Homo-oligomer: A and B are copies of this chain.
Amino acid sequence: MTVNTDRSAPDDELLDDGSIADSVTPWPISWVAEQMLGLPEEALVPHGRHVAKIDRTWLRRLEDAPQGRLVLVTGISPTPAGEGKTTTTVGLTDGLRHLGVRASAALREPSMGPVFGMKGGAAGGGWSQVVPMVDINLHFTGDFAAIASANNLLSALIDNHLHQGNALDIDPRRITWKRVLDVNDRALREVVIGLGGPSNGVPRQDGWDIVVASELMAIFCLATSLTDLKERIGRIVVAYTRDRRPVTAADLQAQEAMTILLSTALQPNLVQTLEHSPAFVHGGPFANIAHGCSSVLATRTALATSEVVVTEAGFGADLGAEKFIDLKCRLSGLRPGAAVVVATVRALKFHGGVALPDLQEEDICAVRAGAANLRRHLQNLREVFRIPAVVAINRFPQDTDAEIAAVREIAAAEGAEAVEATHAAHGGAGAAGLAQAVQRLLAEDDGEVSFCYPDEADMVTKAEAVAHRVYRASQVTWSATARRQLKQIETDGYGHLPVCFAKTPYSFSTDPSRLGAPEDHVVDIREVRLRAGAGFVVLMTGDVMTMPGLPRRPASATMSIEEDGRVSGLS
């Protein structure tokens, strides 16, 4: 991606993300740990010189440490114009450090599949990046590979159980556990396995998801210890018997081996920003098809070693922030003290109906029209979740002062401050104003949040609460399949779990083309997927896919590597 060159101040040299990252010498990760977090070298498990995991024994020592404040970075509904949420998370962390606050970031690990497709990586941009970028965007410390291994071991155990006589009486037509890969591979969405005769197992229909969509990724990110991880894994419902009783991973004696495969990975990863602020990058469920937050263990480790932790939830606040609060906070006890809603003038104009090629023209009317999207996210944060919020205007060079003023005015009408930030071009210094605004919110905050629905509501009520209160839908409908699945889930005793919508990120509605702040729309739930180990139920809407495909011209075709290991074309 070179998109960030757009954001440089006009007198700056136009540098791409890779060149900017290469121009900075990262500190040894042990310096970052010691000087920024007060963690000694023995608290680290090094992975090369610039990446480390936090040793398990130290995670336990940190449990009783005083906790810092948590800041959630979320955004308006994403557009192809770009918002820069990760970039702002990094910039704000560096900005807080400029004010003398011991801040750190808590981010998700990028998924490798999309890196070779279209999306590119997810390590921030411009002067607000986490490094080493290539490592973070690819295998990193092997966490996703470990999750895939454990996930696929469970699949192999299920099919082996069928093959070896099926003592549990698993119905091969009702196996819900899917295999996963961290590759964009549409041809694996629907498959038939076990062909070729009796020595190859039992033929059945199956499918693959991308790792970031898996229940095991969600479990990994919600687990608070190895023991909690193991217990959650044991509770996973993988299939149903012929008389419709749930079969769990514990029934297949899988939970110990799967936990063994995940034990190293469960230790949070530490890297640094270009300004040497600590960044915990750990776990990475997508926010459209999963719960979209980095790991609870990493957040807790960051809170135990920092005054302020800036964490990002995926996509817009309808998905990322809702799930952050209703799932991650509800299940873990974490509480954000403030939220930052990232917006750009360009994206607001796009929401206001301007076509992508025309976004560089000043258009105050379009900004005002598109700001309906921003307004609604702000209202949701304040009225539904009761979190104080500030708007971060991630300023691009073409944005005019009049457009910026319009955004400020709109935010002010909602009782929120809007602060322009130029961290992509100027690093943490460009986000110092934003950091000050965040500090003001934290000083006033009472540390409480509201959930969108109470724990004890039934599942239909929970789904309707999110659809009506957050998405502003007028109606929720359930397909016949979804109703049947809901009934089974309630019969089996899982009716009390919270809900996780799988929905397009591009609209409050389930139709990605309805930008701005659509109303009177219908949320059609076509499928309900139990995630008993993670502790929630996924409600599938629209045509959201849990395994992406590659585009006509995959990014892989334009990458290259030299004999010295130098990579280009990846960012």
List residues of A whose CB falls within 8 A of some B CB: 45-49, 56-57, 112, 116, 134-135, 138-139, 142, 145-146, 148-149, 152-153, 155-157, 159-160, 163-165, 181-196, 199-202, 204, 225-227, 230, 253-254, 256-257, 259-261, 263-264, 549-550, 552, 554, 556-557, 559-565, 567, 569-570
- The answer to whether A149 and B160 have CB atoms under 8 Å apart is no
In whole Å, how far is A330's beta carbon from the nearest beta carbon of chain B?
24
Assess A112 versus B256: contact at CB under 8 Å? Given A155-B185, A157-B554, A192-B191.
Answer: no
Cβ–Cβ contact B556 & A257, under 8 A: yes
Q: Which single member of B160, B230, B254 contacts A186 (CB below 8 Å)?
A: B160
**CA distance in complex: A254, B149 (Å):** 24
Is the beta-carbon distance between A188 and B183 smaller than 8 angstroms? no
Kindly list chain B residues whose C-beta atoms are within 8 Å of the C-beta of A193. 187-188, 191
Query: In the complex, how many angstroms separate the beta carbon of A227 from the nearest chain B beta carbon?
Result: 5
Q: How far is the CB of A402 from chain B (nearest CB, A)?
A: 44
9 closest Cβ pairs, A-B complex: A190-B196, A145-B145, A257-B556, A187-B201, A159-B187, A156-B185, A253-B557, A160-B550, A190-B195
Known: A135-B264, A187-B200, A190-B196. 11 other contacts (CB 8 A): A134-B260, A142-B145, A145-B145, A157-B556, A186-B199, A190-B194, A190-B195, A225-B563, A253-B557, A256-B559, A260-B570
- The reply to whether A186 and B159 contact each other, CB–CB distance below 8 Å, is yes
> Which residue in chain B gives the minimum CB-CB distance to A545?
B199
Copy number in the complex reads 2
Measured between beta carbons, the chain B residues less than 8 angstroms from A45 are 48-49
CA distance A163 to B550 in the complex (A): 10
What is the bound-complex CA distance between A145 and B192, given in angstroms?
24
How many whole Å from A121's CB to the nearest CB in chain B?
A: 12
A567, B156: Cβ atoms closer than 8 Å: no
A549-B160 in contact given A46-B46, A145-B139, A556-B153 (Cβ < 8 Å): yes
How many angstroms between the C-alpha atoms of A564 and B148 in the bound complex?
23
Separation of A56 and B254 alpha carbons in the complex (Å): 39
Q: A259 to nearest B CB, angstroms?
A: 5
Instruction: List, in ascending order, chain B residues with CB within 8 A of A189's CB.
Output: 195-196, 200
Q: Across the interface, do B187 and A202 meet the contact criterion of CB distance under 8 Å?
A: yes
Give the chain B neighbours of A204 by CB distance below 8 A. 187
Given contacts A149-B139, A187-B156, contact A257 B116 (CB under 8 A): yes
Closest to A202 in B: B187
Q: Is there an interface contact between A159 and B145, defined as CB atoms closer than 8 Å?
A: no
Task: For A225, give the chain B residue with the smallest CB separation.
Answer: B563
Given A152-B185, A163-B186: A565 and B226 within 8 A (CB)?
yes
Least Cβ–Cβ distance between A505 and chain B, in angstroms: 19
Q: Once the chains bind, are B200 and A138 in contact (CB under 8 Å)?
A: no
Distance in angstroms from A537 CB to nearest chain B CB is 24
User: When chains A and B are docked, how far (Å) is the Cα of A530 from the Cα of B244?
Assistant: 47
**B192 and A163 contacting across the interface, CB-CB below 8 Å:** no
Please, how many angstroms separate the alpha-carbon atoms of A559 and B182 in the complex? 27
Least CB distance, A519 to chain B, in whole angstroms: 30
A49: B residues at CB distance < 8 A? 45-46
Specify which chain B residues have a CB less than 8 angstroms from the CB of A155 in the assembled complex.
183, 185
Could you say which of A45, A230, A549 has the most chain B C-beta atoms within 10 Å of its C-beta?
A549
Cβ contacts under 8 Å, A557 to chain B: 253, 257
Q: In the complex the two chains form, is A183's CB within 8 Å of B149's CB?
A: yes
Whether B152 lies near A257 (C-beta < 8 A) is no
Pick from B142, B186, B202: contact of A201, CB below 8 A: B186
10 A-B interface contacts by CB (under 8 A)? A56-B565, A139-B264, A156-B185, A157-B554, A160-B186, A164-B552, A186-B200, A226-B563, A254-B556, A257-B556
Chain B residues within an 8 Å CB radius of A554: 157, 160
Residue from the list B164, B183, B195, B564 in contact with A56, Cβ < 8 A: B564
Compute how far the CA of A425 lies from the CA of B497 in the bound complex, rounded to whole angstroms.
55
A260 touching B561, Cβ below 8 Å: yes
Q: Tell me the bound Cα distance from A564 to B266 in angstroms.
A: 12
Inter-chain contacts of A561 with B (CB < 8 A): 226, 230, 256, 259-260, 263
Q: Which residues of B contact A135 (CB under 8 A)?
A: 264
